[in-house]
């Protein structure tokens, strides 16, 4: 790392420059042979193209009690908008990133099709911290082939994204009656609970 041009120090104290670029996400866990994947998405003319190693709908949250702790949530492997959400965290201000073990869908590796937090696909990730430094991640988890069940789920981390509590369904729709979509969450900065 070169010295900052303003304060002439390697560890910049003036906070006036942008650091180096860091690759945050890793390569897809899905094999390239799935490139011809055709996911049955009924009643649509949308193309069923799978974009391996792509990320979108990214959210980044910074811990208010420790600014070196950040959590990033994003889609990976876009197929009609989603295959799964991934959660990454840093404890050193972004120099290194670790993938969380949080699983919100079978596409991410969950195997129990009857667990409340085990849906075919996860989408619309969102992340935020409360004033005490607890992180909350929420998403839409749903089924497109099995039964059209879907839910907005939320989960909490008290250690900066390293581990997560049990996933909780906030809302659930069994069948295709309603659409759970584009949820977000924010902590009240004035009421700590």
Q: What is the DSSP string of 43-102?
A: S------EEEEEEEEEEEEE-TT-TT-EEEEEEEEEETT-SEEEEEEESSTTSS-EE---
Q: Is the pLDDT of residue 35 over 70?
A: no
Residue (of 29, 118, 40, 119) closest to 77 by Cα position: 29
Which DSSP state fits 3? P
Question: What confidence tens digit (pLDDT) does each residue in 166-187 have?
Answer: 888 888 887 767 777 778 888 9
Q: Is the pLDDT of residue 27 over 80?
A: no
Q: Is the pLDDT of residue 135 over 90?
A: yes
Strand duo 98-99 + 121-129: pairing = unpaired
Question: What confidence tens digit (pLDDT) does each residue in 91-100 have?
Answer: 999 989 999 8
**What is residue 16's three-state secondary structure?**
coil
């Amino acid at each position: 790392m070169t010295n900052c041009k303003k304060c002439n120090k390697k560890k910049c104290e003036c906070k006036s420059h942008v650091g180096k670029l860091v690759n945050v996400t890793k390569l897809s866990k899905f094999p390239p042979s799935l490139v011809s994947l055709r996911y049955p998405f009924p009643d649509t003319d949308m193309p069923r193209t799978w974009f391996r190693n792509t990320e979108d709908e990214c959210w980044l949250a910074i811990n208010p009690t420790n600014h070196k702790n950040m959590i990033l949530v994003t889609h990976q492997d876009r197929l009609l908008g989603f295959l799964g959400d991934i959660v990454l965290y840093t404890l050193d201000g972004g120099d290194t990133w670790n993938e969380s073990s949080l699983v919100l869908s079978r596409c991410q590796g969950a195997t129990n099709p009857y667990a409340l937090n085990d849906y075919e696909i996860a989408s619309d990730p969102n992340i935020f911290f409360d004033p005490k430094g607890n992180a909350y991640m929420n998403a839409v988890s749903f089924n497109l082939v099995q039964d059209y069940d879907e839910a907005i789920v939320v989960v909490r981390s008290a250690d900066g994204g390293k581990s997560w509590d049990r996933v909780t369904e906030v809302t659930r729709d069994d069948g295709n009656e309603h659409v759970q979509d584009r949820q977000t969450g924010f902590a009240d900065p004035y009421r700590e609970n």
